Structure formats: structure tokens, C-alpha cells
Amino acid sequence: MCLAPMADVTDSAFRRIVVKYGGLAHCSLGKGGPDVIFTEFVSCDGLCSEGKKNLLLNLKYTEKERPIVAQIFGAKPANFYQTAKIIKKLGFDGIDINMGCPHKHIERQSAGAALIKNPELAQEIIKETKRGAGNMPVSVKTRLGYNKIETTSWIKTLLESRPDAISIHWRTRKEMSKVGAHWEEAKKVIKLRDKYSPQIVIIGNGDVETLEQAHKLADKYGVDGIMIGRAVIGNPWFFNTPSLPPSLKLRRTNPTSFLEQEGGLEEKLKVMLEHAKLFEKIFKNKKSFLLMRKHMIKYIKGFDNVKKLRIELMKTKNAKEVEKVVTKYC
């Protein structure tokens, strides 16, 4: 069970909160939270430039976050080689290459999902990353295709390059998140993997809303792992749903939903405030506090009569202001 890399989301503050409240409900590794954690992506070109110092902030982590994988993006094989050496020196447990990001500013650099249209370059990037990484695992996160599903040709291209793992968001770049994830393609990928590179780990990603659902999808489609992203935002208990905080008394029998829990809002607001304070402690004067807003909106999503609370939170500019708002409701 993996925490997905998400730009401007999976920073160190968010990851630490997820680890703290993730619990040990399913984990076989004796640690809290997900089995594997990915950072938000970092530019290879940036790490190979004079701006390296500023970007290293995004690669800071704590020992409690292990195993932790650094995600990188770019389009210059030589810079992937140099970046891999940097990440290895920083002590990460693995390197993940972003070949699926659909954002225009990433694609304008011929990076992210744009690499799906350039399989030769994609293979060269994997080769150079592996060369720089030495014995450190190298993985790829991608999609099913660019304008259409091209599972056989595209995934085969990646398999031929022998990364240690491939994480697949079961949509094309064109589809973004406008349609449901094509989980049915997973069985096709598993057959290709077993034929060409049986040692490669296949991780599925897309539309996973609960830990229970994640396990069912893994069993149904035969993938080796599940990667969860959006469902964890505002819900650091995701990976510990069978063992929720004691204050969350369920009205019904669904342990994965905070929407029907007495005291649920108060508990989430307290953790949200803890998250805000940690973000400010780590990133003050380095990252905009406004990035916390996407987290705060998720912490309160689904509760009744929170319109006024939402408006007040969206006006906050620092942790102290968040605390003032939370104090009124707790």
C-alpha cells in the first residue's frame, strides 16, 4: 500500500502526519502509515543547476517516513543520471520517474506524460537513472497512454527497460480524471509483465477510496500493490481505517467513513491544526501557507453545516489564524 506522489501535497509535513496517524492496521513492515511513501516530484534540471539548494527542501525526510522514494521529472537523460547520484547520496530507498503528469508546464519541458509520445527517450531516461542509482531501486509512474489507451505498446516499452516497479494510473493523459479508472487493463499489464519481465512489481492507481477497496482491487486484478492519492488528503487515518482514533464513535458499522461519526469533525480539526503548525514550522518563508488550503478543505469535506467554517479557513494566512478558527469550533 503506497502513498502516491502528489505535487504540492506530499511534502514532508503531510507525510509525517500520515505516518503518525496511519497506524499499524495492515502494515507488515512494523511501521505506521503506508508501506511505501513517495515524495512530490522534483525537477532533474533544477537539481543539476544553481537552484539545487532551494529544491533540496522538497527532498527532506525523517527516518519514520521510510521506505521513502524520491520522485523526479525531466527530459534530459544526463540530468537523470546526475540526479540519481544525488538522491542516492541523500539516502533514499528508491527513485521514481514521473512519466504521467499531465500538467502543461511539465509537458512543455517534454517531461511527465509527454514521454509517452517519445518511447525511445523514455527508455534512455530509465537507463541513465538506473546507471546513476547503482543498486537503488528505480521505478516509473505513468498512465495507460496519451490520447488513447495503448497498454500493450507503451507498457511493453517500459518493461523492456527493466525498472524495478511500474505504477500505473489507469487512465490516459487525455482523460485526466474525467472518467473512471480502467482497472480492467490491469490483467493485460500483468500478462505482459509475466511474459517479458516477471520480476517487475506492478502497482495500480486510480479511484481508490478506502483501504478495504484497495485490498479487494489487488486481489481481483492481481497487482502487487496499490497506490492511493486523493483519498488520503484530509484523511491521514486512511491506512489505519480498522483502528480509528478512540474519540471517533461510529453511528453505523462503516469504519472507513468520517461522515457519520460523532465527534469526527472536532478530531479532524485538531489534526488539521497540527498539520498546519507543522507545515509552517518546516516551510515558513520558503513555501506559501496557501498550499495548506487544499488540505483544510478536505479535512472538513462531507460534514454538515460547515459552510461558515470553510469560508473562515479559506481566509487564513498562517497557523495562528487557523488556530483561532479551530478554537471556535472545538
Contact between 72 and 128 (Cβ < 8 Å): no
Q: CA 120 → CA 116, 154, 305, distances in Å?
A: 9, 11, 53
Neighbouring CB atoms inside 10 A of 251's CB total 11
DSSP secondary structure string for all residues of 241-281: GGG--TT-EESSS-TT-STTEETHHHHHHHHHHHHHHHHHH
Nearest to 53 by CA among 82, 86, 81, 96: 86
Catalytic residues: 101
CB 145 within 8 A of CB 171: no
In terms of phi and psi (left: phi > 0; alpha: psi -120 to 50; beta: otherwise), the region of 126 is: alpha
DSSP notation for 55-81: HGGGG---GGG-SEEEEEE-S-HHHHH
Contact 2, 167 (CB under 8 A): yes
Contacts of 14 (CB under 8 A, 6+ apart): 275, 279, 295
Characterize 33-59 residue by residue with b for buried, 16 or more Cβ atoms within 10 angstroms of its Cβ, and e for exposed.
bbbbbbbbbbbbbbbbeeeeeebeebb
Strands 201-205 and 94-99: unpaired
